[in-house]
């Protein structure tokens, strides 16, 4: 899939609307339209990288930027600021949009793994 066919690239460019939670020059955060927890955000780099298998040394800094955004998002949470991050890599792992992203989940007890 090219970036032209990519849902998240279209959201980043503004061609498709989404509920934006936060963003900076490198990262966009939107609400998941099918939330699995009271708080369910998607942390998306503003560069088309398919998934971890597609990650290269030269764009690996986006991983750190995603994690720093997770830290920032957690600081806005109430309680003990617990959260879970999930990255699905490949269709069998549950990846449905092939533009690397991280699910940020919070707001409920998550003892299951």
Contact 59, 86 (CB under 8 A): no
18 is a contact residue toward Zn ion (CB under 5 A): no
**Residue 101 bears catalytic tag:** yes
Q: Closer to Zn ion by CB, 47 or 77: give it.
A: 47
Q: 103: which residues sit within 8 A by CB, 6+ positions away? A: 32, 36, 40, 41, 42, 43, 84, 85, 86, 87, 88
Q: Pick between residue 3 and residue 51 the one whose CB is nearest to Zn ion.
A: 3
Please work out the total of residues on this chain that contact Zn ion, with binding judged by CB under 5 A. Answer: 6
- One symbol per residue from 49 to 88: x for binding Zn ion (CB under 5 A), - otherwise; what is it? ----------------------------------------
Q: Least Å distance between CB 63 and Zn ion?
A: 16
Out of 40, 99, 101, 103, name the contact with Zn ion by CB under 5 A. Answer: 99
**Cα-based angle 12, 107, 52 (whole degrees, multiple of 5):** 45
The residue from 40, 48, 99, 101 that is catalytic is 101
Beta strands 84-86 and 20-23 are unpaired
CA distance linking residue 29 with residue 27, whole number of Å: 7
- Where on the chain is the footprint of Zn ion (CB under 5 A)? 3, 6, 8-9, 48, 99
């Amino acid at each position: 899939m090219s970036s032209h066919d990519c849902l998240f690239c279209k959201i980043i460019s503004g061609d498709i609307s989404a509920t934006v939670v936060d963003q900076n020059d490198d990262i966009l955060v939107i609400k998941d339209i099918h939330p699995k927890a009271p708080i369910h955000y998607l942390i998306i780099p503003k560069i088309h990288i398919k998934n971890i298998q597609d990650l290269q040394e030269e764009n690996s800094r986006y991983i750190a930027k995603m994690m720093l955004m997770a830290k920032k998002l957690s600081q806005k949470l109430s309680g003990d600021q617990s959260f879970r991050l999930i990255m699905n890599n490949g269709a069998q792992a549950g990846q449905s949009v092939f533009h690397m992203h991280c699910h940020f989940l919070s707001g409920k007890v998550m003892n299951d793994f």
